Amino acid sequence: MASARFLLNSNEIAELQKPVNGSGGYQILLRKLQPMMRKNGSLTLDDETLGRVVRMCAYGSGGFQGRLRAAFRRSIRELLEW
């Protein structure tokens, strides 16, 4: 299985570290991502998790969608630039 490594900046780290309330799909994903992130902002996602992040960022507007977009927008764009 392939993986992608991201190095998040301080603002992106802050978005992922915000407390998570509720039990929906976004909340489950954020709870999964939080402990995966290293102190330096490094985060390695397998294909399945990266796919979930991309799909959930594409859904309508909302608080958790906005947090995912704020955390990953720059990194995913860089990844897709080749």
pLDDT single digits (tens) 40-78 = 999 999 999 999 998 888 876 777 888 888 999 999 888
Q: What is the mean pLDDT of residues 19-32?
A: 90
Predicted confidence band of residue 1 (pLDDT cuts 50, 70, 90): low
The pLDDT of residue 39:
92
Instruction: Give the whole-angstrom CA distance, residue 56 versus residue 38.
Output: 22
Q: What is the mean pLDDT of residues 29-46?
A: 94
Q: Which residue has the higher pLDDT, 78 or 37?
A: 37
The pLDDT of residue 14:
95
